Structure 1
Amino acid sequence: MLLTLTGSSCSGKSTLAFSVADRLRRVAVHDFDEVGVPERADRRWRNRMTELWVRRALEYQGRGIDLLLTGQSPLGEVLAVPSATLLDGIAVCLIDVADEVRRDRLARRDPGRWEAHAVDAFLGWAAWHRGHAHDPRHRPDVIMGDSWPEMAWHRWAGWAVDDPRWRTHLLDTTDQPVARSVDEVEQWITEQRDAHRSGQIPLIRGWTEKRHDS
């Protein structure tokens, strides 16, 4: 199955994913950007790369290995890429942090790189992620507009907020020790894998065909 840690920059996604890697058996951990990021990476590029990573997850799936992927693709994007319906299971966790903490982390990580408007864009993207995680109807235009033509947005465009398939786990790392956040990620992964094995995960293969109430 595919497990993703998503969210805006500097929330701690990669740190948590690679910290938990040695605790889990038959889980491959990758960062979305390790394939390289072009200078003018846009929404269509992210769409295509999300499809690339879903195909990589399918390769791992064929070997009985789950993929834990860190990146910025939200649930709606993952569900809409062409190959998503071939995955045995999908689970998404939003790694979030308070705006002031994200702002400080950006300044420390890339001193002098980001102007105020760019930092505000990171914060706005984080706020959108929160709304999207809660409600599929929250400004879908943000990801649908000028997207890769192969994206199948219709798969979930009509879902309501109470649809059990629309489930993104939220982990807020604000003022929380890294060790505790790593423990919580490990617990989330374990719960999702257990639910998958028992057939109880909402986004199990066949999720496009009908609503699975739980």
Structure 2
Amino acid sequence: MLFKLTGSSCSGKTTLAYAAADRLRKIAVHDFDEMSVPEDADRRWRQRMTEMWLHRALEYQERGIDLLFTGQSPLGEVLAAPSAPLLDGIAVCLVDVADEIRRTRLANRDPGRWDTQAVDAFLGWAEWHRKHALDPRHRPHVIVDDGWPEMAWHRWTGWNADDPRWCTQLLDTTHRPVPDSVDQVEQWITEQRRVHRAGRLALSQGWAS
């Protein structure tokens, strides 16, 4: 199945993914940005690349291996990607951090690269992620408008917040030591695997029917 760690930049997604995967069997880890990101990357590019990574997940699936995938594509983009219904299971976790810590991390990671407007955009994207994770009706146009034409938005745009398929685990790393956050990711994956084996995973095959 596909395990997706999502969220805006500098929340710690990649660090947590690789550390948690070291404790688990039959799981591969990939980061969205492993392949070069063009300077003109936009939402259409992100959505096309999300579909490409889902193809990779399907290749792993044929070998009996799960994919733990990090990147900024939210639940709505994952579910709308053309190949999403072919996965035998999908689970998404939003890795989040307080705005001021994100500001500091952005400045330390890329000194001088981001001006105030760019940093504010990262923070706004993080706020949208938080609300999107809770309710599919929260400003869907942010990802839908001018999106990649192959995306199947109709799969979820009619859902309400209480639809069991609209489920994103929330992990706030703000005041949590990294080892504790790694524990949380490991426990989340283990639990989602258990629920899937028991036939109770909401986003198992058939969810889009």
Instruction: State the TM-score, normalizing by the size of structure 2.
Output: 0.99
CA distance in 2, matches of 1:43, 1:196: 31
User: Which secondary structure state, in structure 2, belongs to the residue aligned with residue 126 of structure 1?
Assistant: helix
CA shift at 1:20, angstroms?
1.2
Q: Where in structure 2 are the equivalents of 1:103-182 lying within 5 Å?
A: 103-182=103-182
1:48 alignment partner in structure 2: 48
CA shift at 1:59, angstroms?
0.4
User: Which secondary structure state, in structure 1, belongs to the residue aligned with residue 59 of structure 2?
Assistant: helix
Equivalences, count: 209
Q: Where in structure 2 are the equivalents of 1:18-57 lying within 5 Å?
A: 18-57=18-57
In structure 1, what residue type is equivalent to 2:105?
R
In structure 2, what residue type is equivalent to 1:105?
R
2:84 alignment partner in structure 1: 84
Question: Per-residue CA shift, 1:20-79, capped at 9, x if unaligned?
Answer: 121010000000110221111011100000000001000000000000000000000000
CA distance in 2, matches of 1:177, 1:19: 13
CA distance in 2, matches of 1:47, 1:119: 22
CA distance in 2, matches of 1:106, 1:128: 18
CA distance in 1, matches of 2:172, 2:52: 28
Displacement over 6 Å in runs of 4+:
none
CA distance in 1, matches of 2:11, 2:161: 25
CA distance in 1, matches of 2:98, 2:176: 11
CA shift at 1:133, angstroms?
0.1
CA shift at 1:197, angstroms?
1.1
User: Which secondary structure state, in structure 2, belongs to the residue aligned with residue 202 of structure 1?
Assistant: coil
In structure 2, what residue type is equivalent to 1:27?
I
User: Which secondary structure state, in structure 2, belongs to the residue aligned with residue 82 of structure 1?
Assistant: coil
In structure 2, what residue type is equivalent to 1:8?
S
Which residues of structure 1 form unaligned runs of 5+?
210-214
Over the matched positions of the two proteins, sequence identity in percent amounts to 75
CA distance in 2, matches of 1:35, 1:83: 20
CA distance in 2, matches of 1:17, 1:42: 25
1:206 alignment partner in structure 2: 206
C-alpha RMSD over aligned residues: 0.5
1:212 alignment partner in structure 2: none
Question: Per-residue CA shift, 1:100-132, capped at 9, x if unaligned?
Answer: 010010011111110000000000000000000
CA shift at 1:203, angstroms?
0.2
User: Which secondary structure state, in structure 2, belongs to the residue aligned with residue 49 of structure 1?
Assistant: helix
